[in-house]
Amino acid sequence: MAGLKNKLKQLSSQKSEISKIRRKGENEYKKAKSLSRKYSSSLKSTQKRIETFKQSADDINELLSQKIAQMESVQRLKSAAQEKLGLEIQNKEQIENEIDFADTADEKQGFEYSLNSILSTIDQIKNEIKQRTSMEKKCSQAISEIEKKKNSVTKTIKKNIESKPELTKLAKNTQKKLDSVSKKFESVKKRELSVITQLSKVKSAIPKAKPKTRKVKAKSKTRKVKAKPKRKITKSKTRKVKAKPKKARR
């Protein structure tokens, strides 16, 4: 009996100590888990941003290529128009010279008709060059804006790529820490459960003292029950009616 009580005391002390260790391990586990999730989430977010911005960079490059091709086309058309303008100006000057040396009025009139046609063409070409110049300017501005956007996206990608190795290292280290803390925590929980089981067995093995209330109950059972007082019967109900004396016959 004394041995069981000592064992009970010893196990109770062990349970108290191991419960403290378990609570401390649980707090460490929660902190390690939170930190591991934080860096793991940051790493995933960084990788996702890199992929998103890379896709954005591809779209920007495609748009940039389109705008550059458009501007090159406008520049070619503008250059062709300028060459054509130069030729028409030469024709104009030649016709003007021929008008001055025309022999007849009809010949002069023919040259003037040709000159008017050339002047009309020159005006059309100048108008075309003006439009091409305006389109070229718009394309140039668009290309400049796209290139700024491309540089910004490129810097963002570079920044995220540079941060990735450090985040990867932190994520791995915190995961290792979590695995280590988790194993210790699980081990402590098993030890605590083992002590609780042993403690329960020891408690069951110790005979329970009989409660004092049983003797009181026993006395109450042997105690004589007082007889209930009989109800008094009222005289009015139980009183016998005396018979009247018979009269003597004469």
Give the tens place of pLDDT for each residue, 175-223: 999 999 999 999 999 988 988 888 888 888 776 645 555 554 444 444 5
> 134 pLDDT exceeds 90?
yes
Q: In the prediction, which pLDDT does 126 show?
A: 95
Q: What is the mean pLDDT of residues 141-154?
A: 95
Q: What is the mean pLDDT of residues 158-169?
A: 93
> 64 pLDDT exceeds 50?
yes
61 against 11, higher pLDDT: 61
Q: What is the mean pLDDT of residues 92-99?
A: 89
| The 3-state secondary structure of the chain, one letter per residue | CHHHHHHHHHHHHHHHHHHHHHHHHHHHHHHHHHHHHHHHHHHHHHHHHHHHHHHHHHHHHHHHHHHHHHHHHHHHHHHHHHHHHHHHHHHHHHHHHHHHCCCCHHHHHHHHHHHHHHHHHHHHHHHHHHHHHHHHHHHHHHHHHHHHHHHHHHHHHHHHHHHHHHHHHHHHHHHHHHHHHHHHHHHHHHHHHHHHHHHHHHHHHCCCCCCCHHHHHHHHHHCCCCCCCCCCCCHHHHCCCCCCCCCCCC
Q: What's the angle, vertex CA 10, arms to CA 6 and CA 14, rounded to 5?
A: 170
> 36 pLDDT exceeds 80?
yes
> 234 pLDDT exceeds 50?
no
Q: Among residues of the chain, what percentage have pLDDT more than 90? A: 59
Q: In the prediction, which pLDDT does 127 show?
A: 96
> 152 pLDDT exceeds 50?
yes
Q: In the prediction, which pLDDT does 243 show?
A: 46
Q: What is the mean pLDDT of residues 64-83?
A: 95
Q: What is the mean pLDDT of residues 101-110?
A: 84
> 162 pLDDT exceeds 90?
yes
**Class (C level, CATH) for 2-220:** mainly alpha
| Boundaries of every domain in the chain | 2-220
The predicted model scores a pTM of 0.60
Q: In the prediction, which pLDDT does 151 show?
A: 95
Q: What is the mean pLDDT of residues 39-61?
A: 94
Average pLDDT, the chain: 83
Q: How far is CA 112 from the centre of its chain?
A: 79
101 against 64, higher pLDDT: 64
CA atoms within 13 A of residue 128's CA, in its CB half-sphere = 18
Is the Cβ–Cβ distance between 58 and 189 less than 8 Å?
Answer: no
Q: What is the mean pLDDT of residues 75-97?
A: 93
- The amino acid sitting at 145 is E
> 232 pLDDT exceeds 60?
no
